[in-house]
Structure 1
């Protein structure tokens, strides 16, 4: 894994997507009993495995129960794989760099023991099942008592949406996503809680559990940055959406004050990257779309089911900028000094993401007749594996859909493997070159 982490991760996700594509192409997977085209099956399988949520066919009407169960299995496997792979790679990077700094004899092995792998895998499984089970019980109770669903149907709906929420998949068994539940806190809030927990990442949740059990008193720098940045953006997003959409007759306008606050809160949290929408995204104000673009691009926590460049990367760059503005020679964050290589890694990940999104946006503008707002939103949503859309996804030509497939795949495994590869490739130089400063700005 250390020598070729990108190949291991890419091969695992590629195999899952291929299996999902074959299963979704089977006639038994569709409601009509006819085979689904390979492009639609590939797009849907990729969207499920990368826990994105974009779709080119309507989920509840096109797929049979078998097809829906295939989707559930794909985004469960995808979410589990993301949290496991990312957590192991993060542990691997920390172990290697930590051992190297200590100049320990074990540093030359640069490997993880079976105990480490077992702890991470079992931890991810236990955490996933616990959150999904609690969420499923709450949703099942609401579907059964509030919407008169038969018990079996309520259980099915509860489990499907709980798994989709925790894995930030965004797949819903309703054609209008969660718009029909926009003012129902008993549906919306459990789903928000589930995708926030999934989006924070296993390392953060694991450390929180250890802290609650008093096994660890001091929080690490990673958890403090993640929680702080996540909390700040969780305020900015809902406040912006509520403010921009308050009087929009096509979104929040028809609701009462309480309904506006709840729906605006859910819609403002969703770009972090759950993909559930309680408002008509295509009818939102341009300012709301741009704010959603920013939130989607930033994403959630490292080693979680959310996508994007990650809140930690975003926060680190903010600290770097602050130190430069102040004229400080070093970057200090919450009582800790950041090594220069972390600055470079964060900058590289962000610029690579920006370049990929801009290239995809330009290609989509060339291939489709849609305006920039819609195309940019689609590209960012695919790269950040969010799943929100202004409604143009099913109308895209096959070539554009294939481009989004590539973007979802790269957007999901790229930041994970790219960041770890940058850290693992660090090596010293035996000499340095003469220093010269070019003009900046």
Structure 2
């Protein structure tokens, strides 16, 4: 009789099984994995903000306030239901500073970094996750124009750019702020901490202030406010644009992709147009710019236009603005900054594509062209989806907040758009919300930061091919 032997399979360690499970989940649904990562971070920071050590008086922060702060920090929004300067202890402020740095890198980029830590290598799937943060078209089936954003081979460079740009830009802004604080009479230790804090809040487009008086001391200081504007603008143009600029500066022959051109030009147009509108609408308002001379009016209008795009800092009470200016700010906040940036909103390239489509239709041409490049129709479909889902989220949240608070529509709409666009400007309504309203605003911030494309892809079924087409019929439009 032949002896039989049984071969025992090696038992995989628990850490290995966990790593394999996480890798498998990330491979099956990158978008859901990314949302899970952000949700887990929010839960962790909610717990940390709830600890007595996080507050000045050693008390436990209520769940609604701790959760809202965690969402606002991780989603780099800047809205708050407590006084951020006086409520949190040193430990709490360190949590805020650390949280905005983590949240600023983006949902899918953060997921790819976690995947790199778990799998110990940056494989194709991890590259796809990270690259999708710079080009949402990769979330869909079909060919993707890699030149419009970041090539898969450059994803490693993108992750390096994210880390280096945060360190370099925040450090440079802090160096600009530090001597100005010393001149203002602030002691060295406080000036060092607050300059680092302000620079981080500027580049991440968050807008929290470490001191109770906020920007009051520097409300007319061109140097201080100018440094904040630089940090906010560089954070809002997006990491792919920063990578493209850094790459082209090292080359003699510079070639800019259409994504870079659309992002930079649209951002500059919105910045100037917003400033001009604020000058026209607020020059005679005694509560805002009516008491300023021409030079200060122009500068303050430019500052407000920059911050309305997602920066969150303000030198004037928002509820002192005229109703027309509040509406302009609503529009700027909803648009937001560049793709894969620290800013929120539907993104400037989305707006640019929608306008290009409208111009093409007005001219009677079939193709959308810009900078001698043709933009495919699937980009337009994605832009329409992003704008529509964004408007839907704002509308639903506004209706719920209106029903709960019975507040005025302009204030509710302003704070809801600020939450969706992760801007941080407020009319003061957010601080007065009951717990039900706080949870709704927290959900709005989360949806705005994870991105309408990522959220829709996570909730939708897997991509499948449709093997048939229904008969064509044209409805009446317009």
Counterpart of 1:136 in structure 2 is 174
Question: Unaligned stretches of 5+ in structure 1?
Answer: 103-111
Deviates more, 1:419-428 or 1:241-250: 419-428
Structure 1 residues 425 and 100 mapped into 2: Cα distance closer, same or farther (>3 Å)?
Answer: farther
For the 8 Å contact 2:310–2:422, the answer to whether it is kept is yes
**Residue deviations 1:94-114 (CA, integer Å, cap 9, x gap):** 779899479xxxxxxxxx97x
Aligned counterpart in structure 1 of residue 390 of structure 2, from 325, 329, 353: 353
**Which residue of structure 2 aligns with residue 88 of structure 1?**
131
Distance 1:219 1:296 in 2: 27
CA RMSD, aligned part only?
Answer: 2.5
Show the counterpart of 1:107: none
Cα distance 1:320–1:246, how it changes in 2: closer, same or farther (>3 A)?
Answer: same
- Provide the rounded CA distance (Å) in 2 between the counterparts of 1:37 and 1:96: 38
Q: Give the length in aligned residue pairs.
A: 430
CA deviation profile, 1:383-423 (whole Å, cap 9, x unmatched): 01101000111111110010000000011002351587799
Q: When the two structures are superposed, what TM-score results if normalisation uses the length of structure 2?
A: 0.84
Larger radius of gyration: 2
Q: Structure 1 residue 3: deviation in Å? A: 3.7
CA distance in 1, matches of 2:321, 2:135: 43
Q: Check if 1:156 corresponds to 2:171.
A: no
Q: Secondary structure at the match of 1:273?
A: helix
1:322 aligned to which of 359, 366, 376: 359
After TM superposition, the structure 1 = structure 2 runs for residues 104-115 of structure 1, keeping only pairs within 5 Å, are none
Aligned to 2:52: 27
Q: Check whether the contact 1:225–1:315 (CA below 8 A) recurs between aligned residues.
A: yes
Deviates more, 1:252-261 or 1:418-427: 418-427
Counterpart among 215, 231, 241 of residue 194 in structure 1:
231
CA displacement at 1:434 relative to structure 2 = 2.2
Match of 1:106 in 2: none
Distance 2:170 2:210 in 1: 17
Change (3 A) 1:97 1:403: closer
Name 2:77's counterpart in structure 1: 52
Matched position secondary structure for 2:399: helix
Give the unaligned 5+ runs of structure 2: 1-25, 111-128, 146-150
Q: Following TM superposition, by how much is the alpha carbon of 1:88 offset from its aligned partner in structure 2, in angstroms?
A: 2.6
TM-score, structure 1 as length reference: 0.91
8 Å Cα contact 2:140-2:463 kept in structure 1 = no
Task: State how far apart, in whole Å, the 1-side matches of 2:42 and 2:412 are.
Answer: 25
8 Å CA contact 1:202–1:303 kept in 2: the answer is yes
CA–CA distance in 1 between the matches of 2:314 and 2:63? 27
Matched, 1:287 2:324: yes
Cα distance in structure 2, aligned partners of 1:121 and 1:319: 31
Task: Give yes or no for the alignment of 1:72 onto 2:97.
Answer: yes
C-alpha distance in 2 between matches for 1:162 and 1:328: 46
Q: Is the 8 A contact 1:168 1:274 kept in 2?
A: yes
CA deviation profile, 1:338-378 (whole Å, cap 9, x unmatched): 21111111111101111111111111110002100000001
Q: Is the 8 A contact 1:345 1:422 kept in 2?
A: no
